[in-house]
Amino acid sequence: MEPILLSKANRVATLTINRPAQHNAITLEMWRSLAEIATRLEQDTDVRVVVVQGAGDEAFSVGGDISEFSAQRSDPWQAKIYNGKVELALKSIARLSKPTIALVKGYCMGGGCMLATHCDLRISADNAIFGMPVAQLSTLVGYRELQRFVHLIGLGVTLDLLLTARLIQADEAQAIGLSSQVHPLAEINTRVDEMTAQMVDLAPLAQRWHKQMLQTLLRKPDLHDLTPEEGMLPDVIYDSEDYAEGVRAFLGKRPPVFRGK
């Protein structure tokens, strides 16, 4: 059984962590594969939206496969290599220029929660359970991953999850901004399909550059020291074929056909 599945349909790529018997725990080799798959998806012009999910209804992912830790993380040097592969995978997902959605059912913990937070949106079933119980293992979250949590849910809530190791239900996850939306488990696949069907027809340049601008805003919140390219980015889209198509379609009262140019 392949531990990671990739399927594509209707301009949507679906990446499935496929170890349901292990609650979709992620091995080191799977972290490596995630980075490679993200690189391929970035280059695939037929893909407009990426969905990341876990196999089955019981878990998105419980995180790294702890059964590997004694062999792969037994000292600081091994841990540095291991953590580097995890960071590369998460960074590769976060840097995708296409919108990414984590479809979360059941447990979403540790490295699985980090994976979900590196997607743009987290759409959760009402059985989702989130947590970062790393204090129960005496492991640490990396600086970049901590930064992602703080940007997403704030310092106070990040400290709450890390220092208490408590798990939270989907409704609380939505209240603190960890989950974007919550839907009944029986409806969530349909809801995500409906969402992606709308998103694939939106302007890919606007999607890509908004993601890029928001990352710049996080790095330079006072907007000082913007490079010339960063400063011009909100304006260059008006020279694109897609902008002209959007205006023509609106005036012609027809759906636009965007080509990412």
Amino acid at 142: G
Same domain, residue pair 140 and 247 = no
Same domain, residue pair 56 and 132 = yes
Total tally of structural domains belonging to the chain: 2
- Collapse the DSSP code of 232 into the 3-class scheme (helix H, G, I; strand E, B; otherwise coil) and give the result: helix
102: domain CATH number is: 3.90.226.10
Same domain, residue pair 208 and 189 = no
Same domain, residue pair 119 and 247 = no
Tokens 């040097």 found at: 77
165, 184, 199 — which closes off a domain?
A: 199
Look up the domain containing 230 and give its range. Answer: 204-251
Q: Give the up-direction half-sphere exposure of residue 57: CA atoms within 13 A in the CB hemisphere.
A: 9
Q: Is 162 part of a structural domain of the chain?
A: yes
Q: What is the pLDDT of residue 78?
A: 87
Q: Is 260 part of a structural domain of the chain?
A: no
- Distance in angstroms (rounded) separating the CA atoms of residues 192 and 216: 28
Same domain, residue pair 138 and 247 = no
Length of the chain: 261
Q: Is 258 part of a structural domain of the chain?
A: no
Q: What is the pLDDT of residue 68?
A: 84
Under-50 pLDDT residues of the chain: none
Instruction: Give 47-69 pLDDT, tens digit per residue.
Output: 999 999 999 999 999 998 888 88
Q: Is 259 part of a structural domain of the chain?
A: no
- Distance in angstroms (rounded) separating the CA atoms of residues 19 and 11: 25
pTM of the model: 0.94
Q: Is 80 part of a structural domain of the chain?
A: yes
Same domain, residue pair 228 and 178 = no
Q: Is 192 part of a structural domain of the chain?
A: yes
Strands 121-125 and 181-183 come out as parallel
Distances (CA, A) of 36 to 13, 14, 17, 141: 14, 15, 14, 22
Same domain, residue pair 220 and 110 = no
Q: What is the pLDDT of residue 66?
A: 87
| Closest-CA residue to 42 (of 99, 87, 90, 86) | 99
176, 199, 222 — which closes off a domain?
A: 199
